[in-house]
Chain A
């Protein structure tokens, strides 16, 4: 990826310097990264409040705006659209500019589009709290938020693709494959799902099928794909080796694209039996590309993992994200069928992918990108805060994932056995597990705050460098 091969096209003969590339990225990428982290903090707080209500129903009782049925979708959608997708745009723009050796086109326009995205997410979250949720998982924003969301995404993606077209480094590195796939894929799934579920409204369970298809593609291809783009950029960079086995990466990429979009409906009830069957098979098959891609990364980093773990904050995040990716893939393949249907086990997949696989990879990448774009260093100003962000995020994801999974196993046992008392054996006893979930969301809030504080320190130092501490 670091080859300096230049394009034969005369217009692109002069590649901008790294400093010029970073200068063009500064405004939009920092804005997206900051807003993303702020939404992570806000979404985690909402999820925390919602999880408390699961075992203390009297908590915040009496106001429809903060009832569990509204808080939980507001939290998930704030995390998905405010944090995950927004951060994935920051990463995509930065990767395109860096790997394509090109200045971002229209940085100001990108920033304005990003602002509109944030406005739309804010409106959407408040719309859910006000009772206008659509009722479809991961697509709860009402129409008046969904349309601006799509419009601002269209601007972001269009400028990103224009930038990609203008790249001076013609060879597309693996990371950019995932970025391009996600950029093209997301508008299609979003417009299909919004058009069908908020506009045309097909009859009956087709709605649930479309919503499930959208959620799967969002989690498996757009967000996991973005996480893989980050992994493929930073792992070779950190261990300072070229990517081992690019052929395997290519095969893994195409297989993931072909198979990844088919899962996600394995637990749908009341639909023709072929749909869960096909989805369940896809959940198994997707192990192959995930293993191929992770093997490729493993071969690249082999022997240097312990060293990189000690030295590099970004690498720690990425290693855990890679392990979680393997874990969540196997988990969905082997336990994602009817046995865990209708339990928190299945619901936890969204949290693990949003916050664990993507969230940790993105936070790790931002721990490299933010200092590059502010102070020009390779690390954020405070190593202590970076450590705190890592450990808090790790514990947070583990708390949420393990808490929900254990609760899910208990629920699955009750679901399968009618002699067990639904209320006593299935709802009361999981309170302990759900407290672990609450603690997990609290830890994630701490992680987001630690990162934001570090971000602030970096910006302050940057301002001090430029303006002599005028601010």
Chain B
């Protein structure tokens, strides 16, 4: 090669290729992301950080917390399920179930089509309804359709058990889990069948992965989670636990598990995090996290004193930076389902136990 300009042009061309692919293309794809309304809700996600938490983000960056803590939850698998919530509108229902409960005969057929391993039992028509010209034909039609279904089963090689649980029992107790941990196609097909039968069913979600098992989040983190952050501190090494969902982490999922003592869980979590910032080894003796004692003072009264241990230590008071840092950590709650990363609906009891959003100090 004799000509420098050719060399230079070639080098610039190859750089331009990688620049276009890895700087420009991601910007075109993700650059317009903004806080947006959640599916089926008017709530905006992610919500803007209150002032104190926004200042805490600066403390987090300045102290280099991201050198040891990631803010990215991974997920190895996502599966789906179907939950039956309501039998349907009165028009679909017939009386005649056990204990006089209403029945949705179409739903039983749909359930049988969705769950091949369950038997479908005949439904005897109550004698009192024999004269009702609105209801009686429905029972007749159901019996016909059930026969067709069973015949089709034979044709396609499905063998239903003759005894054991039946779809009739499944539909008797609501809400009922119809399908668990299946593919998205199977889940959506199930919801479609049940909805066509007039029932109300919803798709449920199951997320899997070691990070989720550790209680670090309810789903994988996605680009949407970071649109309010600048700089975006994803972190690259986990010397300490992930912080993507620290604001909603259950007490027993901390490195040093603990329990809420009372009902004001937000205050307790805030106090816990303040103690961690003050000296992590007061909570987990093996922690290698450096303490940030310089964010506390012994002589300046603050809003709330913290008492670190049972030992007779002098009270310390968090400085503004410490309160800001903890306020920031409490806003890290990537637990809201978004379009491309749904979360499983928490059981009612667990939802109540999870820490609420912190009160503004």
Contact = CB atoms under 8 A, between A and B. Distances in A.
A347 B22 CA distance: 21
B101 to A, nearest CB: 42
A137 interface: yes
Interface string A171-209: 110000100110011001100100011000111111111
A72 to B, nearest CB: 5
A243 to B, nearest CB: 13
A213 B14 contact: no
Interface residues of A, number: 83
Contacts of B130: none
Interface stretch (B103-111, B289-297, B345-353): B289-297
A62 B316 CA distance: 14
Nearest to A209: B26
A405 to B, nearest CB: 13
B92 interface: no
Interface string A37-77: 00000000000000001110110011110011110110000
The size bracket of the interface on B is 35 or more
A135 B233 contact: yes
Most buried by B among A69, A180, A188: A69
Given A73-B67, A261-B14, A137 B27 contact: no
Given A69-B66, A205-B232, A423 B226 contact: no
Nearest to A271: B223
A190 to B, nearest CB: 12
Nearest to A165: B4
B83 to A, nearest CB: 26
B9 to A, nearest CB: 9
A72 B210 contact: no
A256 to B, nearest CB: 9
A270 B221 contact: yes
Interface of A: 53-55, 57-58, 61-64, 67-70, 72-73, 131-137, 164-165, 170-172, 177, 180-181, 184-185, 188-189, 192, 196-197, 201-210, 213, 217, 250, 254, 257-258, 261-262, 265, 267-272, 275, 278-279, 338, 341-344, 346-347, 411, 415-418, 422-424, 426-428
Interface of B: 1-4, 7-8, 10-12, 14-15, 17-19, 21-23, 26-27, 29-34, 61-68, 70, 72-74, 210-211, 213-214, 220-227, 229-241, 255-256, 280-281, 284, 286-294
Given A171-B2, A172-B3, A272-B26, 8 more contacts: A68-B68, A192-B23, A202-B27, A204-B229, A258-B17, A261-B18, A270-B72, A422-B255
25 contacts: A57-B281, A132-B62, A133-B61, A134-B61, A134-B231, A135-B61, A164-B4, A170-B2, A172-B7, A180-B11, A185-B15, A188-B19, A192-B19, A197-B231, A202-B27, A205-B232, A217-B18, A257-B11, A269-B74, A270-B221, A342-B235, A342-B236, A416-B210, A422-B214, A426-B238
